[in-house]
Structure 1
Amino acid sequence: MSAPSPYQNQPHGYPPPPGGPQRRPQASPLRGLIAAIVVLAIFGGGAWYVYKYNTDPNGGKAKAEASQSAQVEEDKTHDPQEGDCVKIEGTKEDPLPTIVECGSSEAEYKTGERLFGPGKECPAKYNYGIQYSSNRGADYTMCFTKV
Structure 2
Amino acid sequence: MAKPIYVLNGPNLNMLGLREPAIYGSDSLDDVRKKAEARAKALGLTIDFRQSNIEGELVTWVQEARDKAAAIILNAGAYSHSSIALLDAMQAAELPVIEVHLSNIFRREPYRQHSYISHGAKGVICGLGAKGYELALEALADLLAA
Shorter-chain TM-score: what band?
under 0.3
Q: Could you say which structure has the greater relative contact order, defined with CA pairs below 8 angstroms and 6 or more residues apart?
A: 2
Which has the larger strand fraction?
1
Give the TM-score, by structure 1 length. Answer: 0.22
